[in-house]
Amino acid sequence: MNQKNLFDMGNQLSVGIFIDGGYYAKINEALERLFSKQLDIRKLFDYMRGRISEKSGRSLEDIHIVEAHFFRGRYRASDAKEKNLLYEERSFEDTLIENDIIFHYKHLRELEKKGGVTLIEKGIDVWFALDTYELSMIRKFDYVILVTGDADHEMLAKKLNSLKIKVILLNWRLDSQSSTSKLLKEEVGWHLDLGVECASDPKLFDRICVNSK
């Protein structure tokens, strides 16, 4: 089957999901600290399909997540081993693989400054934006879900709007580290704050979160 036929879905709606891994990690870190929980990515995706179904008036069977991508910086193997992070990283990658999420990594760098060490994820934001835009042009998604809070992606949202793609910004402000840029929120057509969603549906928290391992 050629690529054109693969993404020609008739009356069905195609969805592309692009996850800022650093932002996703901050949500999980806050959930762990506050509730000893973490996001269940499969249940989160199912929830998003349901919300798009409600918003579009289409049946759930017509909503298809055709691609999902995860971008993040990570330690080199030797550094991860030294920090006892190898098992944790591989376990999370297993979750991504099981849910057909394509992961994109660049090496983290540590910069020593007075008062501590700063982690640098050089180039990840640009990679995230370029791949999201390029794939959106090629695949012609009906919806693109951005899981991020970074103000740098404001222009990405504008570019996706110019392609007449419906852009959903998904975030969860649990603390100051997982906050979302006001400018980014203003650029997207649909902003979903999971904190607000959980407040309006008390059962949602337990549906999309699981106990930390």
Domain boundaries, the chain: 14-67+122-211
pLDDT of residue 121: 75
**What's the length of the chain?**
213
For the chain, the 3-state helix, strand and coil shares in percent, each to the nearest 5, are 50, 25, 25
Phi, psi of 141 (to 5 degrees): -60, 150
User: How is residue 101 annotated by DSSP?
Assistant: P
The H or E element that residue 40 is part of is none
Cα(13)–Cα(9) distance, rounded to whole angstroms?
Answer: 7
pLDDT at residue number 4: 44
Cβ atoms of residues 125 and 157 within 8 Å: no
What is the pTM assigned to this prediction? 0.88
pLDDT, averaged in runs of 10, over the chain (213 residues): 48 95 93 95 97 95 97 90 91 95 90 73 89 96 93 89 94 74 80 92 95 84
pLDDT for the residue numbered 179: 60
Neighbours of 112 (CB within 10 A): 8
CATH topology of domain 14-67+122-211: Rossmann fold (3.40.50)
For the chain, state the CA radius of gyration. 18
